[in-house]
Amino acid sequence: MSDTYSVFGAIGEEWNRQGGSQGRLGNPLSNEIPFLDDIGRVQNFEGGTIFWNPQWGINTFFRDPTTSINLDELTGYWTADDGGIYFFKYVHYVLCWVGMSGDRGLSFTNVFRGAVFNNIRVSGDWMDVPRGNVLRGGSLAFDITLNTDLRTPGIQLRVTKATGGFGARVLNKLASSVNVSSYINSSDTSWLFEKVRRNDGGSMEDHLKLCRDQVVLYAEVLDAPHVNYPVDPNNFSSVSYENFICAPWWPRGVAGWGGDDPPDGDLDFKVQIIERPNDNFWIGGGWSNDINPMDIKNKLEDGNYIIGVETVMYGRAAECGDNDHYDSPPLLRGWQEKRVNSVRINGRSINGQLAVFPSEDPYQRGVFEIAGFHLHPRTNVSEGTKLRITGPMILDGHGFFDRFHEDDPDVHNVEIHPVYAIDVIQSTFQTNLTGVWSDLNDGTYYIREYNGHVWWFGLDRDPGPAISSMFSGYLNRDNGVLEGELVLIPHGFLSDLQDDSIDFTLEGNNILSSNARPWRLKKLYDVLPPESTFGGRGGHE
């Protein structure tokens, strides 16, 4: 502990391991502060920064300012005074980045491509893509400098010209790499199941057995979504975490009322998988060690590929009575959680915005049907709606310990639970490509077209990708050919990633390539751009 700041917990252990105040990190320059998704913590020191997240573990980065600038050091992880995080890639005097607001890009996500001049200046264009809430774009120029401030030493970019509403004025390099690749490891989700509490006094682990995390399925809805919970749309306290976890409205122990198992608040519906997983899905990695993928395949085939989809209400670790931790950061996304911690529909957080009405079934006491989501009419989910669903594939034991029936194909208990994200597939052929697309590997591409110039930000998976792609090119509408430069930008430890010049052709709602690496992008849904999109004011400033 210093005179001003405290160092404790996992970060404190790492700081002491590095020699404490006498080591390379030196004295702390701040207390712990929330990092990105509010689950992790970060603390700055004189000589570097320590990050901690229950899913990533500890990562330590040291700062070492030099008297000259090595342009190769531009590649890495940057922060800016607009609250954003930026992933830079520098190759042969060309600088590209993917930038996201601190809420994982829900407020804004942009891409940039520019040229480096005289080793000290950069000039280029930037464009928002439809992951965030704004769609702006413009030009940027900035100087590359060395920041000698003890608190943020190292390479710095200072914006000298910006159009289109770009908000940042100063960007500082934080590290050459950030290890987030383990963020999508399936064992992490299993650990979270153990921690997240249910309102029956148990944990999610009591009911769910993880098969494989980060599963993406294309399916058709078979029944209307419903919530098994007494939702009062006119009374916020009815959906508060305390009301959920303690369930004071539930007559526990009363015969015929479900005993000590109150309604769990899950948003449920049934779907039928319409695009069957290919062989690579079953023989590839990512499966839990104690799961035989062929057992899961047999269950799906026997059940005609009909599965349950469940979105939890809350994903927190506080038990009833633990009032001091009711507002602690969630560990899993829920439909009643807010912003970055909320389940997303078409890239927008639900934030508890359900339009509900009581079920007419007299045997469904406390069940509320979902009339829609107060986000956009096109995000409504009803019978016949086609979806892309992202989340962990699990076996639901319904509270019976050791009764997951892993090798019994007659027990149809495969689910996507809890859901991370839902995309309502409603693409129509547009003269503008702007929208959200997917590829053969279930990646997500946020594409923006303006005046024939096409940009995209592509993610391996959502959430927590290790690699993203950034594309900048031009579309010839006469022949349907899209030509440009594809840049692979690492979100994890740096590796030798090969960028490429690439040509695409348009076929309806598909973008195809004939390069050595096959690409096939299909549109999930349109995002209509505003009339004024380039060079104006407003953006995310």
- For the stretch 386-397, pLDDT in tens is 999 999 999 998
Among residues 453, 450, 486, 485, the alpha carbon closest in space to that of 468 is found at: 486
How many angstroms separate the CA atoms of 315 and 265, rounded?
Answer: 11
Same domain for 246 and 347, yes or no, is yes
Q: The dihedral of CA 409, 225, 230, 421: what is its sign?
A: positive
Question: Can you tell me the mean pLDDT for 149-170?
Answer: 82
pLDDT digits (tens, 9 = 90+) for 83-109: 898 988 888 778 999 998 888 888 899
Token pair listed for 1: 């502990």
Q: The dihedral of CA 165, 423, 468, 449: what is its sign?
A: negative
Asked if the model's pLDDT at residue 61 lies above 50, the reply is yes
Same domain for 245 and 202, yes or no, is yes
pLDDT of residue 261: 76
pLDDT of residue 381: 80
Structural domain boundaries enclosing 442: 435-526
Report yes or no on 378 lying in a domain. yes
Average pLDDT value for the chain: 79
Contact yes or no for 52/11 (Cβ under 8 A) = yes
Report yes or no on 215 lying in a domain. yes
Same domain for 441 and 420, yes or no, is no
Q: Which residues contact 86 (CB under 8 A, 6 or more apart)?
A: 77, 78, 79, 80, 97, 98, 99, 100, 171
pLDDT of residue 52: 79
Among residues 50, 46, 54, the alpha carbon closest in space to that of 24 is found at: 46
- Structural domain ending residue among the three candidates 383, 400, 424: 424
pLDDT digits (tens, 9 = 90+) for 481-511: 888 888 887 654 444 445 556 677 777 667 7
Asked if the model's pLDDT at residue 171 lies above 60, the reply is yes
How many angstroms separate the CA atoms of 525 and 387, rounded?
Answer: 10
Report yes or no on 209 lying in a domain. yes
Question: Can you tell me the mean pLDDT for 327-350?
Answer: 88
Token pair listed for 243: 């009301």
pLDDT of residue 238: 75
pLDDT of residue 467: 67
More confident residue, 403 or 385: 385
Same domain for 416 and 273, yes or no, is yes
Same domain for 451 and 390, yes or no, is no
pLDDT of residue 158: 92
Report yes or no on 72 lying in a domain. no
Same domain for 416 and 448, yes or no, is no
Same domain for 394 and 484, yes or no, is no
Same domain for 286 and 382, yes or no, is yes
How many angstroms separate the CA atoms of 290 and 287, rounded?
Answer: 8
Q: Which residues contact 289 (CB under 8 A, 6 or more apart)?
A: none
pLDDT of residue 369: 53
Same domain for 390 and 442, yes or no, is no
Contact yes or no for 471/456 (Cβ under 8 A) = yes
Number of domains in the chain: 3
Asked if the model's pLDDT at residue 531 lies above 80, the reply is no
**pLDDT band, residue 165 (cuts 50/70/90):** very high
Same domain for 395 and 442, yes or no, is no
Asked if the model's pLDDT at residue 38 lies above 50, the reply is no
- Structural domain ending residue among the three candidates 390, 424, 458: 424
- Structural domain ending residue among the three candidates 370, 401, 424: 424
More confident residue, 491 or 67: 491
The total number of residues written for the chain in this structure: 541
pLDDT of residue 273: 96
Asked if the model's pLDDT at residue 301 lies above 90, the reply is yes
Same domain for 292 and 400, yes or no, is yes
Same domain for 305 and 367, yes or no, is yes
Least confident of 165-169, 177-181, 300-304: 177-181
Question: Can you tell me the mean pLDDT for 413-426?
Answer: 92
pLDDT digits (tens, 9 = 90+) for 186-228: 345 667 888 999 988 889 988 899 999 889 999 999 988 888 7
Report yes or no on 501 lying in a domain. yes
CB neighbourhood size of 434 (10 A): 20
How many angstroms separate the CA atoms of 499 and 483, rounded?
Answer: 14
Report yes or no on 107 lying in a domain. no
What end-to-end distance do the CA atoms of the chain give, in Å?
37
Contact yes or no for 538/134 (Cβ under 8 A) = yes
pLDDT digits (tens, 9 = 90+) for 464-482: 445 678 888 888 888 878 8
**What distance lies between CA 530 and its chain's CA centroid?**
25
pLDDT digits (tens, 9 = 90+) for 139-153: 999 998 877 554 555
Report yes or no on 307 lying in a domain. yes
Q: Which residues contact 117 (CB under 8 A, 6 or more apart)?
A: 123
Asked if the model's pLDDT at residue 272 lies above 80, the reply is yes
**What distance lies between CA 22 and its chain's CA centroid?**
38
Report yes or no on 129 lying in a domain. no
Residue at token pair 């650990």: 191
Contact yes or no for 207/396 (Cβ under 8 A) = yes
HSE at residue 174, side-chain half, CA atoms within 13 A, is: 23
In percent, the amount of the chain with pLDDT more than 90 equals: 29
